[in-house]
Structure 1
Amino acid sequence: MATIGERIVNLRKRRGMSQAELAAVSGVSVSLVRKLEQGARSDVRLETARKLAAALRVPTTVLIVDRGADEADVQAAGRWEPVRQALYGLRNRGEESPTADGVLAAMDASMPLWQGDSYGELAAMLPKLLADADVLVGEDRSQRVVRSRLLHLTGWLLTQNRQFEAADLALRRGLDDADDRLDAAMIVSTRCWLLLRRGQLDEARRLAVRWADDVEPRMSRATPRELSAWGWLLLRASAAAVRDNRPEEAQDAIRLARTAAVAASRDHSPDGDFLRTFGPVTVAMKRAENAMVEDRPDVVLRMSRSIPTSDLAPTSNNRNRHLLDVAEAHRRSRQYGEAFEVLRRIRHDSPEWIVNQRYAKAILNGIFAGKRTPDRDMRELADFVRMDGE
């Protein structure tokens, strides 16, 4: 299989471009282009691959190859190994027999941990909860629905922590247990996010579009659950398309998502499920994310002025992801102090979350590269997020 560097060389020569010309058109440094083509680098970020693909006039997926797990992923896998074993049914549940009420009560009690990105506590709690849910479930439909919800949450959490194989298993099992097409659609939406994080852009786009077509509601009588499921699938389709250098498809999908958001009138969580949170603010954040992917930091900063990021805004994950885009937009505008303050705010609100974000580390690296003398606070944050630990 050709490496990403070999594919860049072939496409660049087919376009009649020199390395310098490719660098100028894409906005990627000549040094990085040279290192990729020589095989000295293979760990290019998805954003960089998109820029190169746009300059070479091909979908991003033409360039992307499977780079395998890095050292940080291997280290993180240790924390989640008991969860993986529970998903495969390899862990004993203990001597006490679980009850339906007990499993439900445990899930309800754990919700603040999911919403608060408390990864350490969740990693310790999940193996037993998954084992109990497996023992409990027989033919009882209501209990299968509960397990489906737990598996969906687990897949979402593992995706967030880059445990992709285990996340895929959890989401597939959750989809098997789903008893409602809208529940299934939300699981598929999370699976599209998993595919996006793995760089499988075309598969994510096609899956999201297919399911969005299937669950598209009649707008005159659409329920909040229908609007959320349809809207999120459209957002996933747009995210995949913009990263795969398909701007028109991305715009069409997000335009339909805005239609769903207007119908929803405000951001809220159908059935009290934070993963379903959807509305105008959520869509605005994703529009800003698309603008950042398209390297339009001025648009991101302009949009951010009207996007609330308080505790009343959408889920912490989406809020923090938007704030990373704002930080990166400041950095690209050489507003290094403003970029750092956004990162410091995220660290204060979601310390476990930011440590797991490669994007945050890349932004901080860019701040260090732009400032002649990073101050003590910046150096301390770099140590906290283990900026050089990958």
Structure 2
Amino acid sequence: MRELRKRADLTQRELATAARVSFRTVENLEQGRGGTPRLETLRKLAAPLRTTTSHLQGDHAEAGNPDADTVERWANVRAALLGPPPVLGPDDVPPTVAGVQTLVRDMTPLFSGDQFAELSTVLPPLLREAELLGAEGRSVRVRLLQLAGWLMVQTRQFEAAEVALSRALDGSADRLEGAATVTTQCWLLLRQGRLSAARELAARWADELEPRMSRATPDELSAWGWALLRLSAASVRDERPGDADDALRLAHAAAVALGREHAPGGDFLRAFGPTTVALKRAENASVVQRPDEVLRLSALVPMGGRRPTSNNWNRHLLDVANAEVELRNYGRAVEKLTEIRNNSPEWLPNQRFARDILGKVVRKRRRLTPEIRELADAVRLPADM
């Protein structure tokens, strides 16, 4: 970083000012102190240093680092994904494809509704039953592994997520089924901070999935659109704004061609359309710290038709809350965080972004209201924040 700063003809203080970080942050990074920097800090530094976030980061991916309660809650799910293949005992009744399909269908609302406590109990035996189905259970097994991989990413258990998603991709029968897995794989790479890998994977699949617009089916447009959204997300975080805008423009074209939110086969993970693109456009504005633009775009989000998935909508509310904090509207930020807590109480504790936002609010307040203290407990904000 020191060499890049010298090439850019910047002092440490000038770099800190241009990147909107503290002088001590720059000083500590150049002297190798302070541990591994946050991805957001590296993104801020990349532009004035005329480089990319991934170049500053090197090969260091972010660990999952879930808290002890999360590790304990999902131990049986991790064992089912990472352990040896299950074996039927002499007195065990073998599962049937129809039976496992019914269970997966009945459990899907638990995934889309962020019912993590119940999933931690019912998912392990179902994963084992799916493995016992053999070749005839390929389709339902891939679907369950897609859901389990998404859940492991959501709860920052990255090793288990990688295993589940790799197995799902290996079992995919065609490119659209594979694309449903790759969308989550890209998200996993983004959460780990592996921006180059996420960008390359999304770009390769976007090229492979690009349809002829005059003949494209809704499922093809949805798959292509999601690959483009992941490409845009990786690019904007890697300080490649032109690539991010190009990918988002093409995703918008796919959404316009659809004309509505479309979920292939009713799969909430693949729901795509104008609303989803609008939410991701606001997310990109949040990443590059344009709070006014986030709020402007939020007001334009089309909410007719299919409601966006819980995951995408809650992320949007976090972007809005962060924008309100940046504009010093702390009360409005707390309102948005409270809305998320009321709607998805089990989703919120897994969001490091939520802790960052509330931490800013806490530092700016002399006294904390009961509502803020409750939120601090909900997002597991450290007591010394």
Measured against the shorter chain, the TM-score band is over 0.9
Q: In 2, distance between residues paired with 1:360 and 1:314?
A: 20
Q: Please, which of 118, 124, 140 is the counterpart of residue 146 of structure 1?
A: 140
2:96 is matched with: 99
1:335 is matched with: 329
Relative distance call for 1:177 and 1:290 in structure 2 (3 A) is: same
Matched to 1:219, the amino acid is M
8 Å contact from structure 1 (residues 285, 307) kept in 2: yes
1:125 is matched with: 122
Q: In 2, distance between residues paired with 1:230 and 1:68?
A: 27
Query: Aligned pairs, how many?
Result: 380
Q: In 2, distance between residues paired with 1:136 and 1:121?
A: 24
1:225 is matched with: 219
1:261 is matched with: 255
8 Å contact from structure 2 (residues 274, 302) kept in 1: no
8 Å contact from structure 1 (residues 73, 162) kept in 2: no
Cα deviation code 1:331-390 (max 9, x no counterpart): 001110101100000000001100000000000001112223232211221022111179
Q: Does 1:213 align with 2:207?
A: yes
2:40 is matched with: 47
1:203 is matched with: 197
Aligned ranges 1:272-287 → 2 under 5 Å: 272-287=266-281
Matched to 1:243, the amino acid is R
Aligned ranges 1:53-132 → 2 under 5 Å: 53-65=46-58, 66=60, 69=63, 72-73=66-67, 76-90=70-84, 95-132=92-129
1:237 is matched with: 231
2:181 is matched with: 187
8 Å contact from structure 2 (residues 43, 53) kept in 1: yes
Relative distance call for 1:374 and 1:229 in structure 2 (3 A) is: same
Q: Please, which of 273, 276, 294 is the counterpart of residue 300 of structure 1?
A: 294
Q: Does 1:17 align with 2:10?
A: yes
- Partner secondary structure for residue 21 of structure 2: coil
Matched to 2:274, the amino acid is P
8 Å contact from structure 1 (residues 204, 237) kept in 2: yes
Q: In 2, distance between residues paired with 1:133 and 1:31?
A: 53
Q: Does 1:362 align with 2:356?
A: yes
Matched to 1:379, the amino acid is R
Cα deviation code 1:153-206 (max 9, x no counterpart): 111110111111110111110011110211101211111111111111111111
Q: In 1, distance between residues paired with 2:381 and 2:207?
A: 41
Q: Does 1:177 align with 2:171?
A: yes
Q: In 2, distance between residues paired with 1:14 and 1:124?
A: 55
Instruction: After TM superposition, give the deviation of residue 92 of structure 1 in Å.
Output: 6.1
Instruction: After TM superposition, give the deviation of residue 307 of structure 1 in Å.
Output: 1.6
Cα deviation code 1:288-338 (max 9, x no counterpart): 111111111110001111225699521000000011000000000111010
Relative distance call for 1:342 and 1:312 in structure 2 (3 A) is: farther
Matched to 1:103, the amino acid is V
8 Å contact from structure 1 (residues 93, 131) kept in 2: no
8 Å contact from structure 1 (residues 42, 67) kept in 2: no
Matched to 2:131, the amino acid is D
8 Å contact from structure 2 (residues 61, 193) kept in 1: no
- Using the size of structure 2 for normalisation, the TM-score is 0.93
Relative distance call for 1:310 and 1:128 in structure 2 (3 A) is: farther
Relative distance call for 1:68 and 1:300 in structure 2 (3 A) is: closer
Q: In 1, distance between residues paired with 2:343 and 2:260?
A: 24
Identity %: 54
Q: Please, which of 320, 340, 365 is the counterpart of residue 326 of structure 1?
A: 320
Matched to 1:239, the amino acid is A
- Partner secondary structure for residue 132 of structure 2: helix
Instruction: After TM superposition, give the deviation of residue 18 of structure 1 in Å.
Output: 2.0
8 Å contact from structure 1 (residues 309, 319) kept in 2: no
Instruction: After TM superposition, give the deviation of residue 149 of structure 1 in Å.
Output: 0.8
8 Å contact from structure 1 (residues 73, 163) kept in 2: no
8 Å contact from structure 1 (residues 117, 353) kept in 2: yes
Q: In 1, distance between residues paired with 2:378 and 2:311?
A: 19
Instruction: After TM superposition, give the deviation of residue 266 of structure 1 in Å.
Output: 0.8
2:342 is matched with: 348
Instruction: After TM superposition, give the deviation of residue 72 of structure 1 in Å.
Output: 3.6
- Partner secondary structure for residue 351 of structure 1: coil
Cα deviation code 1:55-108 (max 9, x no counterpart): 211110012253664754565333222222212343667733211121011101
**Can you give the 5+ residue segments of structure 1 that lack an aligned partner in the other structure?**
1-7
Q: Please, which of 362, 371, 387 is the counterpart of residue 381 of structure 2?
A: 387
8 Å contact from structure 2 (residues 341, 378) kept in 1: no
8 Å contact from structure 1 (residues 89, 131) kept in 2: no
8 Å contact from structure 1 (residues 261, 279) kept in 2: yes
Q: In 1, distance between residues paired with 2:66 and 2:32?
A: 21
- Partner secondary structure for residue 214 of structure 2: helix
